[in-house]
Amino acid sequence: MGVSFCRFVGVREHFGLLLQTRHQQSDYKFVIQNHQHQRTILFMRILLVEDETKLAEYLCAGLTEDGFVVDVANTGVDGLHLALETEYDALILDRMLPGIDGMALLSALRSKKSTPVLMLTARGSLEDRVSGLQGGADDYLVKPFAFSELVARLQALVRRSKSDAQNSAKTVKLEIADLEVDLARRKALRSGQRLDLTAKEFTLLVLFMRRQGEVLSRTEL
């Protein structure tokens, strides 16, 4: 497989002694000790799919130096396999790849997963950018680009996707005083005691909790 890994390169140099590692889904959590203090750092795990070896090496080295954990795939087939099998915080995806190209990879990925994708391409026409975004890319960067812009866009992408995930997790549960509604399990609790509600009553309760303080008309109910 044309896959190379350059995880962890630079991390030790940066932070000194590695005390403990723990793998939690997409997050690599390290407790790192330097001479003054201990700190915990969460690394972002990135998959780079790029067939230009020199560029892939340069980006991988730079991103690793910046604290990202990077896997590199040099073909679309390897990239798709890794993207489907592994939880990444984001993908950097070259559009022009031999075999499965970037757009085909993206479309296969999007049928299964919503991992954020930053697409890289030498093609910068408006139609190319639009088709990339419509194909499911979250952002687009035209070659040649500045490395600092790539990092800034990557960080923004991961930040957005994490805050979206947190927001959707928040909306699964509603709480007002001692009243708690679990939307995923369709369960309502008052002071920890389960309320026996009909489907209609449950729906009304959710509506009242979501629109708390508002006067609702009969048609809205």
Site string for Ca ion, 33-62 (x = CB under 5 A): ------------------x-----------
Nearest-approach distance from CB 100 to Ca ion, in angstroms: 12
Nearest-approach distance from CB 102 to Ca ion, in angstroms: 8
Query: CB-wise, 16 or 99, nearer to Ca ion?
Result: 99
Nearest-approach distance from CB 51 to Ca ion, in angstroms: 5
Work out whether strand 69-73 and strand 90-94 pair parallel, antiparallel, or are unpaired: unpaired
Give the C-alpha separation, 1 to 102, whole Å. Answer: 18
Site string for Ca ion, 69-98 (x = CB under 5 A): -------------------------x-x--
Report the candidate in 145, 91, 80, 88 with the shortest Cα–Cα distance to residue 118: 91
CB atoms within 10 A of CB 7: 15
Residue with tokens 């957005």: 160
Nearest-approach distance from CB 129 to Ca ion, in angstroms: 16
SS3 217: coil
Q: Which of residues 91-150 bind Ca ion (CB under 5 A)?
A: 94, 96
Nearest-approach distance from CB 120 to Ca ion, in angstroms: 8
Q: Is 170 exposed, middle or buried (0-12, 13-18, 19+ CB in 10 A)?
A: exposed
Query: CB-wise, 94 or 139, nearer to Ca ion?
Result: 94
User: What residues form DSSP beta bridges with 18?
Assistant: 32
Q: Is 78 exposed, middle or buried (0-12, 13-18, 19+ CB in 10 A)?
A: buried
Query: CB-wise, 71 or 94, nearer to Ca ion?
Result: 94
Query: CB-wise, 44 or 93, nearer to Ca ion?
Result: 93
Residue with tokens 């000790």: 33
Query: CB-wise, 89 or 94, nearer to Ca ion?
Result: 94
SS3 135: coil
Using CB under 5 A as the binding criterion, the count of chain residues that bind Ca ion stands at: 3
Q: Which residues bind Ca ion (CB under 5 A)?
A: 51, 94, 96
